[in-house]
Structure 1
Amino acid sequence: MRTANKTKRLMPRKLVVRTNPHSIAAEQYRTIRTNINFSIPDLTSKIILFTSASKEEGKSTTAANMAIVFAETGKRVLLIDADMRRPTLFRTFQLVNNTGLSNLLLGKGNLKHSVKASGIPNLDLLMSGQIPPNPAELLESDILDELMGEMRELYDYVLVDSPPILSVTDAKILANRCDGTVLVVNTGKSEKVSVEKARDSLATAKAFILGVVLNNYPLTSENYYYHNYND
């Protein structure tokens, strides 16, 4: 049983917008893209955080798919794995996590040489880097503000995948520095109390909550109608 669970954790995230670009799920990611642009229309460069109340709610999958749909518009996009405790981005895109955000926050290397090509036009990736002993302290450093300033000059969209907000303080630190935050909720799994606590934590961090993404939401007959119509 332990082996099976470990194998499941190591599986890559589902990039449905690549594998099935005309699916209902892919279109919903594009709808979220439109809603985000309407929510913060005045910013020429947008830094957006994706988090959840607890683990395994789909925030990393959501962030990766959203990065792709933003890149589809021809904009320059950077996807960052800011989970320096349990990184997953390198597995999603099948790359090596030898350097990344943690290294930059320690003053090692520079942004241009640390980002990796995703294989998708307009989309770059910044891995978490080697797991440090003090992720929260690194995120509170002035170096993060300098990095974000540099990112704004190089990219139109910067999407940040953070740890769950109720697990560690990292997400609160990041939410305070980002232009907006998206809270991902796993329908049928997330408890209402946890979601409310996550919302309150974001409010405490003075985060601008763009909205909530309901992951694994059951389809209705109306969804199927529009899917057939689009086909």
Structure 2
Amino acid sequence: MSQLPNKQRHLITVTNPRSPVSEAFRALRTNIDFSSVDETIQVIMVTSSGPEEGKSTVSANLAAAYAQADKKVLLIDADLRKPTAHKTFSLSNRFGLSSLLSQQAVLQDTVQDSGVSNLSIMTSGPIPPNPAEMMASNRMSTLLQDLRQRYDVVLIDTPPLLAVTDAQIMASKSDGVIMVVSYGKVKRDIAVKAKANLDRVGAKMLGVVLNNVKRKASEGYYYYYYGN
């Protein structure tokens, strides 16, 4: 697996695979895989209740963790309002999800190599005037059906749940949802309200990732913990 010296400052699973944080992402991957006995969890949405809780960092590291397990993985940046994947992976954002859904590009134009073995990236593309309508479109549903045939795991990074309706729409099209909560930053009632929005659309809640929890006082790393 390549180590990309100029890329992936947020990808601890790549830059320091033996760290406690990387191990936590592998545990998260395992918990997701065992979360459903009868159904395959293939399309996974990652969101948060509000901004700056670390959902995009979690999405990217979880995608890398799946890729390290020899899964063919696609990470989609479906945050069509404040996209970050192209910055995380130092990729062009000329063509991406919005280009594909607006028929300005074909699939081959929008999938890029991340530099990590088995991991491809679909950036957001140019910010459109109608993100929610794009997420709700039949074209988006058809795209996900196609991607299921091409990839073992499709991870979708969406906007925060309480900011816009995009995440709720995507939750209804996904096999399961991971919600990222910043420890000590988000009040319980806000997180509960966000989960209620998911329940309203019948989303399958896979679990919650508590972000920014230090395992020991001496550890400077952010720590990610999975729990139902």
TM-score, structure 1 length as denominator?
0.88
The letter for the 2-side match of 1:113 is: D
The letter for the 2-side match of 1:157 is: V
Q: SS where residue 138 of structure 1 aligns?
A: helix
2:82 maps to: 86
Deviation at 1:110, TM superposition (A): 1.9
More displaced, 181-190 or 39-48? 39-48
More helix by share: 1
Alignment of structure 1 residues 52-63 onto 2, 5 Å:
52-63=48-59
Q: 1:193 aligns with which of 189, 195, 198?
A: 189
**Residues 165-211 of structure 1, C-alpha deviations (whole Å, 9 max, x = no match):** 00000000000100000000000111111100111000011100000
Give the % identical residues: 46
CA RMSD for the aligned pairs?
Answer: 1.7
Whether 2:92 is the aligned partner of 1:96: answer yes
Q: 2:171 aligns with which of 166, 171, 175?
A: 175
Whether 2:143 is the aligned partner of 1:147: answer yes
Deviation at 1:12, TM superposition (A): 6.5
Give the conservation status (yes or no) of the 8 Å contact 2:89–2:114.
yes
More displaced, 17-26 or 35-44? 35-44
Q: 1:70 aligns with which of 66, 70, 91?
A: 66
Q: SS where residue 206 of structure 2 aligns?
A: strand
Alignment of structure 1 residues 17-28 onto 2, 5 Å:
17-28=13-24
Unaligned runs of 5+ in 2: 1-6, 220-228
Q: 1:138 aligns with which of 119, 134, 143?
A: 134
1:16 maps to: 12
Give the conservation status (yes or no) of the 8 Å contact 2:41–2:176.
no
TM-score, structure 2 length as denominator?
0.89
The letter for the 1-side match of 2:121 is: L
Distance 1:76 1:138, change over 3 A: same
Deviation at 1:218, TM superposition (A): 2.2
1:160 maps to: 156
Unaligned runs of 5+ in 1: 1-10, 224-231
Distance 1:68 1:141, change over 3 A: same
Deviation at 1:108, TM superposition (A): 2.4
Give the conservation status (yes or no) of the 8 Å contact 2:95–2:109.
no
Whether 2:216 is the aligned partner of 1:215: answer no
Distance 1:108 1:154, change over 3 A: same
Distance 1:18 1:116, change over 3 A: same
Whether 2:25 is the aligned partner of 1:29: answer yes
Runs of 4+ more than 6 Å apart: none
The letter for the 1-side match of 2:201 is: A
Q: CA–CA distance in 2 between the matches of 1:23 and 1:14?
A: 13
Q: SS where residue 203 of structure 1 aligns?
A: helix
Deviation at 1:140, TM superposition (A): 1.0
Report how many residues are paired. Answer: 212
Deviation at 1:40, TM superposition (A): 3.0
Q: CA–CA distance in 2 between the matches of 1:45 and 1:176?
A: 14
Q: CA–CA distance in 1 between the matches of 2:17 and 2:8?
A: 18
2:117 maps to: 121
